[in-house]
Amino acid sequence: MKKYVVSLNDSIDLKKIADSGQCFRWKEITDGTFRVTAFGMVRYFTQVDDHTITIDCDESEYQNVWKDYLDVDTDYDRIIASIDSGDIFLTNAGDYGRGIRILRQDPLETLITFIISQRKNIPAIKSCVEKLCAACGTYIGQFDGDEVYAFPSLVQLSGLSCEKCGGEFCSYKKAGMDSCSLGYRMPYIQETVSRLVMNPDLLEYMMQLDDKALYEELLGFKGVGKKVANCTALFGFHRLDFFPIDVWIKRVIDDVYGGSFDDRRYSPYAGVIQQYMFYYGRSEGI
DNA sequence: ACCCAGGGCCACT
DNA sequence: AGTGGCCATGGG
């Protein structure tokens, strides 16, 4: 099996990224090796040391796909170094989360999965997304005993080629399964998909909007409120200045910062700081 | 059985 | 503009 060695100047920690709540299709196979499903592919990322991983792909695929995915050109250690040294909590959070990077994930996948994410914990999100992929995504192959499917395309999501659903959007009931755990989010997904199908260039158009305009556009989707819009902008459009506030971040702000935290202090990297806060706060059960 | 989860919508003020 | 009830599901 070919392996491409990725050597960074700053830190990368696959386990922390996998557990950081930004991606839901990473699976740890053996200690330090993660099966990553993205862009219709399945690859194995392996931790070598604090700055080095390997990917089972050739150099051209790395240059074309995974280099951007891992955002190797942003210096995350430098962002951690910019943390106010008088802020004990954030200093600890940066240290604790060192190695987390903000992946450049597919906008559609990010939008849909974060609509799904509302009022679910991370294991439930993962399980729900896998069901959706199995419902109408393209079968990639068997890996580690799992049948792995790509995240569905827009057309597949709209039910046009959803074989298991008999053409009806994700209607798992027809397949004898009890929906795909989307629950009340089902119409949100349907309306969002419908809007995108009717505006095929919308996501591409959104990529060139400035942060504020992108945010307003995201809020126009059914089932997308402040939090999901922030997560989608941060993780799906790689806008590192968005600062999503979920129950964990709210808990940190209330318990550690007395109810208010000025995220603008860390502009234009507020979102990166947010990730360290989230990961530390959630892991340490603040 | 219970509580909660990377919330948002809608109907009220 | 701000608040509260409600929403469907599964993990711990």
Instruction: Report percent pLDDT > 90 for chain A.
Output: 87
pLDDT at A159: 73
pLDDT tens across A66-98, in order?
A: 999 999 999 999 999 999 999 999 999 999 999
Is A119 (CB) below 7 Å from strand B?
yes
Q: Which of A42-46, A187-191, A208-212, A232-236 has the lowest mean pLDDT?
A: A187-191
pTM of the model: 0.94
Average pLDDT on A123-132 reads 95
pLDDT at A179: 67
pLDDT at A211: 98
pLDDT tens across A230-253, in order?
A: 999 999 999 999 999 999 999 999
Chain B positions with any atom < 7 A from a protein CB: 4-9
Is A202 (CB) below 7 Å from strand B?
no
CA of A120 to C1' of B4 (A): 9
Cα–Cα distance measured from residue A244 to residue A246, given in angstroms and rounded to the nearest whole number: 6
Is A275 (CB) below 7 Å from strand B?
yes
| pLDDT higher than 50, residue A173 | no
What is the b/e burial string over A84-113, where b = at least 16 CB atoms within 10 angstroms of the residue's CB?
A: eeeeebbeebbebbbbbbbbbbbbbbbbbb
pLDDT at A1: 67
